Structure 1
């Protein structure tokens, strides 16, 4: 049977090529999706934990003093290095130029560092610092130059080794000068040497416009403290030599059960805190699941048509002695060989596509953590091949069974012409209704669970949604012979008024419902996938944008010394910068949360609520309700806070890091601070990092901190753009699958009807009329398939986006109109091309010769 199978494949090579191409593209689609998923997941995890370097373990903040945590960690066998992730700020001057720089503690080993030294070296003493190249350029200094650091110390705090001697030319670097600024604070200065220039390759500190490096001692001193423990709990990064899990267990035991995390676990926790679930993994799994389902349907439809055409040949083999089991085995073996060959070719093609996309993106998307090469995994290679084999074999089961059950004599007789009265059976109707209705109910349930946040596990709504969507889609396809011809006929009536060929084309769509639905279904599948991805991607992009706005409602924040009013001239200078739309003044105060933690809040007048990006937060302030971070105590509507006084406030919980109080709430809490902060809203399209640098230049003479949520959002959106670019690439593969499917089914339909075409020619239809009849029929069926696919794609795309991003924010349906128009145009062209070429061959065949075709 193997020789017979191979011989049949060689004789039917032309027919099998089309199915093989569809299988190849489907396998490539699955491979590219799984590979892209690995890239997206790894890139997203790296972005979330970029500040951790490549640390093996992360110890989250604990109540134990940081010095004791470090000593304990360094004493554990297998730990080669342990560093605190300490962050502070420093003010540096050179001549009349000043910069306020975010500083992070210099790592003891490069693996624990998030910044890359591009010139010079890492600081090793309290009199050294490494700055970003942009900051050094603003100061007009280079490696080896001396800067002056300026910081403040409150009198009740010990000043350590600070001296009262002036820093002259002969003073050693680090000697400080105490210059009383007022009754509450001392301003100190000291010389430091710029020993290196750094860059932030993974945008770990983009929120602050970059960061520099300094020793823990220097950050502590410039923060006005004498002990790192005064900074409070912070992350500790650990580098391990040996088995990570063994060291982790020992470290957990030594730290009295502290929650020691691997880097991936820390990333997963960061992603979950960011969006209420592992959004990145959910997106990848969602696309992969849908890709497998749709590719399976396309391949099954194509292969089923091809195998069904060989029923007569199988019957001939029965006549010469072949048993039913042998024929069934031969068909399935042929399908298996085709699946293996095409699946392997698809894996190679998919990896090549992924590598090409990665090469382009790595060159065009600066600052996005992307690997340079694709790393195939066992799953990425085996799963697509297994899917290809299972689908092709599964697609061949039904036609092989039907062919072997037909008696040889009956099968060798000419097939009866299809009857207009022939209708699909009731079993198909019942099965279709059950799958469709049940699937849509499950899909709606998954969306509802995701939006309500009710689930045992974050992946449960996605699983329910994928199963429901898949079941409903299969139900629609199973029942397509029941309703697709009617839709085609309804839309074909106005088309039939154009000409006789058009009327014949519209009538032909009803003559064989199964053939019409099979032809249209190929395009329905592909268009549904394309539109679903487009709609889901656009809806998800806007949903993520709203999530970013909620997470960082203020584009840029200028924080001065609490209680000291900011210079009005500085506000005007910031407002005059390019890229700045609105500037609002705010007071800064400390309040105590219900769990006893002191935290920083902003007091914002309701007339300035328009400076916020988060519309819900702005509306709450306008209604007289304060805004508190959701992580304080969940979604609450009233909360008791403590400052000078205690008060119960009407609040709205949002996803930001800081609370926003109304003036009435501040008055109730006894807060009466001078305006010491500026809230800045950027103009649409402004480069957040450029504006951040400009603001720092303008306020450089003041002891202020500048934070930019817009700069962080800009970096995050780069990652989203990469994800969407990958989705667009996968969507291109889906379009190719759809075109192959429609070309296969339309071409086979025309070939099957050569007798019918010859009869029309014999009764007077011209060659041109025959060609236009077949072309109109192809475009009509393709157009209807595209319209149905568009409608289904919009529903599934929105449902997918709502399921994945529902826990983050409200998802609104966004329709990519331009892309929908392109899809419809491509569908019409595909129907025209797929039918015209076989029609030309049918028109050129003499009627007598065509009537003699078996």
Structure 2
């Protein structure tokens, strides 16, 4: 091993990276799961959240076996002013003096709500950090008339570890949304259209969740619930679970690629060692060494490199996993960070390395003891088949090329196993490089598509009075505004085959300029509605279905025909024309649907800006219009989403670097073995007067041809695996449909060629140092 320490070191590095990736990602995945679970257990995070239902629902749920606690509360989304900024505030009702049985909060600063307190509010941690809120700071809340609240505490909530307002809003500008906890009695006084009644259910430990879910769902449906949300579908938990799933995927797929590459490198290296030591093997066999001892000796090479690499990989991986867990929980302000050293991680990591070493060394070790002693002692490797190369047989004109070119082509076929391992190494490396590139391109493309082709408005104006023609005219008259439209937005739910799905229903003008449509016609249909494509599989919807849509805030259900689907990266909303929704509401018994759809709790004014106008000045002018509460800037939301995906991009970048290291390691080993195996041939060529440069070009040509042979299958498999990986991240919030760009694939191919050229440098240098006399002496021994 000392004589080939560089080759074994390259193999060892690949093993270390593979095992380290497994240990780090698996431990991060498990650490995040138990960290979240610790927080959920401490704060009694609801297993089921039910919106609506009659007064008897809580008692019915409490009687279900497996239900430990039930809490009833109200929530309301209201404009709130903090200093000079006005934003959407979510106010959650809490009992005074003591925490609720379900969905408690962890007060980090200040105190909990006290009975008799005058409009006290506890700020959730994210909004408190965003605005630097301190104990005693005032809030102004628009509830009919403006009311003053005082911040008495800052708390963490299991519901908002990730501050997602709903399943359709996994990302939001942190300056435009905040959660506050107030006295439940205050929210009870608000009308049903403002404050929504929710029933929270917590299960006993150890129950069969699926069975209790079914019983709770049935009871809620009988009581007239308008939305039923499991813990798995809760917006914050679902968003966090996407990252857990990412670590889980990485913990299996990518280490297997690295360890497969390391196994191939060990196989190639040991095969060369066995061939080089044929004379010694023959002598030992003739002297009585048993086949078992010989097999054990060569297996030891693979076992040693696999074991040492696995030990180092496990140590680094466990440490890296702990660091990643801490970084992640600190970044997201998760209150509990649990880092555990898991024996199972060490065992599996070591097993990966040892099994890889043993399996990859088995074939060369078996070949060593199966060589007949008399043949082995002759010291000459049996010749492989010669003759014309495959390319010469397919294209006869190739046989007219110069001799050195034909030697390059024939060298590929002379050692088929070595050539095949080189091609497979290129394929494995490209899978990782292409997967990294495609996933990065896909996320960036989908975000750009959402905000450049679909979400076309520059800003959404939120008001505190009904939207009428005068208000629209005032907004449209602001310098820099190129258009303004009233858009209706309802929080709704669809129940189909016993499954209730919460989403939003948005109503646009017939020829809206605020939204781009991805259905075949490129426009809203004159009747019926459009739905997100993900709902096709989620609820089994098909065009032509009559869908019943429940609108809890208006205590009404409407029916619309599904006309088609839209393919949008973010969210799973429903869309219809403004007049279509108004007609459906009227048919459902609403006397004046136009008035309902103009109410500030429903209506938003979307605007587009003149590209030549100053964006900051236009936004400021919109905020100064009487009746405007706050303005949501679409560009800010775009930047927020880009920033949130930066952690994902970092992991993709690490994958690309590791893939490049793997490619270099494998190709360096293969080329080094190639040069060592053919040292006699190269020495003969040098002795015949062939220059070092010519021999170097022959080596470069042969290995670039092998690299090129692996590019197309590597790219094809890389794209396919990328699609599978992206599909695992699909949810109610995201539709990750793989985006493939020719430039990305071209760059991947160029990258692998560059890596191949770099890995050739040590082998080419060894040609210059080749001692002809020493090679002849070795051959004669």
Q: Distance in 2 between matches of 1:371 and 1:270?
A: 19
**Alignment CA distance shift 1:786-1:139 (3 Å):** closer
Residue 512 of structure 1 corresponds to 415
1:60 matched to 2:25: no
1:69 matched to 2:58: yes
The equivalent position to 2:371 in structure 1, one of 401, 406, 409, is: 406
1:103 matched to 2:91: yes
The 3-state SS of whatever aligns with 2:22 is helix
Residue 815 of structure 1 corresponds to 741
Q: How does 1:149-548 map to 2 (within 5 A)?
A: 150-152=142-144, 192-196=149-153, 202-205=162-165, 207=172, 209-221=177-189, 223-224=190-191, 231-236=196-201, 244-245=205-206, 266-270=230-234, 283-308=246-271, 309-311=273-275, 312=278, 313-354=280-321, 366-367=331-332, 375-416=340-381, 418-421=383-386, 504-539=407-442, 542=445
TM-score scaled to structure 1, two decimals? 0.67
RMSD: 5.7
Residue 129 of structure 1 corresponds to 121
**Alignment CA distance shift 1:409-1:87 (3 Å):** same
Q: Distance in 2 between matches of 1:574 and 1:189?
A: 28
Q: Distance in 1 between matches of 2:12 and 2:634?
A: 50
Q: Distance in 2 between matches of 1:507 and 1:419?
A: 11
Q: Distance in 2 between matches of 1:665 and 1:743?
A: 66
Shift of 1:742: 0.7
**Alignment CA distance shift 1:728-1:356 (3 Å):** farther
The equivalent position to 2:546 in structure 1, one of 635, 639, 653, is: 639
Report the more deviating stretch, 81-90 or 107-116: 107-116
1:268-323: CA deviations, max 9, x gaps? Answer: 34489979x98666655544443243223212211112222225243332122112
Q: Distance in 1 between matches of 2:737 and 2:651?
A: 22
Shift of 1:564: 5.8
Query: Does the aligned pair in 1 maintain the 2:680–2:775 contact within 8 Å?
Result: yes
**Alignment CA distance shift 1:778-1:572 (3 Å):** same
Q: Distance in 1 between matches of 2:20 and 2:149?
A: 57
Q: Distance in 2 between matches of 1:738 and 1:794?
A: 18
Q: Distance in 1 between matches of 2:244 and 2:270?
A: 38
Q: Distance in 2 between matches of 1:285 and 1:137?
A: 31
1:28 matched to 2:20: yes
1:129-178: CA deviations, max 9, x gaps? Answer: 345799999999975466665534xxxxxxxxxxxxxxxxxxxxxxxxxx
Q: Distance in 1 between matches of 2:452 and 2:42?
A: 27
The 3-state SS of whatever aligns with 2:669 is helix
Residue 655 of structure 2 corresponds to 730
Q: Distance in 2 between matches of 1:691 and 1:487?
A: 68
**Alignment CA distance shift 1:379-1:720 (3 Å):** farther
Shift of 1:549: 11
Q: Distance in 2 between matches of 1:836 and 1:682?
A: 57
Query: Does the aligned pair in 2 maintain the 1:62–1:258 contact within 8 Å?
Result: no
Report the more deviating stretch, 348-357 or 746-755: 348-357
The 3-state SS of whatever aligns with 1:321 is coil
Q: Distance in 2 between matches of 1:591 and 1:355?
A: 41
Shift of 1:11: 7.4
| Structure 1, gaps ≥5 residues long | 1-8, 153-187, 260-264, 424-484
The 3-state SS of whatever aligns with 2:522 is helix
Q: Distance in 1 between matches of 2:236 and 2:130?
A: 38
Report which of the two has the higher share of strand.
2
1:391-429: CA deviations, max 9, x gaps? Answer: 211112222222222211112223346445489xxxxxx
Query: Does the aligned pair in 1 maintain the 2:7–2:669 contact within 8 Å?
Result: no
**Alignment CA distance shift 1:543-1:114 (3 Å):** farther
Residue 224 of structure 2 corresponds to none
Q: Distance in 2 between matches of 1:835 and 1:520?
A: 15
Query: Does the aligned pair in 2 maintain the 1:15–1:306 contact within 8 Å?
Result: yes
**Alignment CA distance shift 1:490-1:35 (3 Å):** farther
Shift of 1:739: 0.9
Shift of 1:326: 2.7
Q: How does 1:825-836 map to 2 (within 5 A)?
A: 825-836=750-761
Instruction: Kindly tell me the number of residue pairs found equivalent between the two proteins.
Output: 721
The 3-state SS of whatever aligns with 1:607 is coil
Query: Does the aligned pair in 1 maintain the 2:458–2:609 contact within 8 Å?
Result: no
Q: Distance in 1 between matches of 2:42 and 2:456?
A: 28
Query: Does the aligned pair in 1 maintain the 2:454–2:516 contact within 8 Å?
Result: no
Shift of 1:530: 1.6
The 3-state SS of whatever aligns with 1:853 is helix
1:605 matched to 2:515: no
1:586 matched to 2:493: no
**Alignment CA distance shift 1:387-1:371 (3 Å):** farther
Query: Does the aligned pair in 1 maintain the 2:110–2:152 contact within 8 Å?
Result: yes
The 3-state SS of whatever aligns with 1:104 is strand
1:660 matched to 2:564: no
1:739 matched to 2:664: yes
Q: Distance in 2 between matches of 1:112 and 1:713?
A: 34
1:233-290: CA deviations, max 9, x gaps? Answer: 333568xxxx83379999999989879xxxxx95534489979x98666655544443
1:625-683: CA deviations, max 9, x gaps? Answer: 42357588834424266999987645346664555334256346534436442243688
The 3-state SS of whatever aligns with 2:17 is helix
| Structure 2, gaps ≥5 residues long | 166-170, 221-228, 587-592
Residue 159 of structure 1 corresponds to none
The 3-state SS of whatever aligns with 1:305 is helix
Report the more deviating stretch, 593-602 or 829-838: 593-602
Residue 753 of structure 1 corresponds to 678
Query: Does the aligned pair in 1 maintain the 2:232–2:238 contact within 8 Å?
Result: no
TM-score scaled to structure 2, two decimals? 0.73
**Alignment CA distance shift 1:794-1:836 (3 Å):** same
**Alignment CA distance shift 1:332-1:323 (3 Å):** same
Q: Distance in 2 between matches of 1:600 and 1:21?
A: 51
**Alignment CA distance shift 1:771-1:356 (3 Å):** farther
Residue 798 of structure 1 corresponds to 723
Q: Distance in 1 between matches of 2:106 and 2:393?
A: 66
1:76-126: CA deviations, max 9, x gaps? Answer: 9997x9755642134567999976633123474599768776764444346
**Alignment CA distance shift 1:379-1:192 (3 Å):** same
**Alignment CA distance shift 1:641-1:359 (3 Å):** closer
Q: Distance in 2 between matches of 1:273 and 1:636?
A: 31
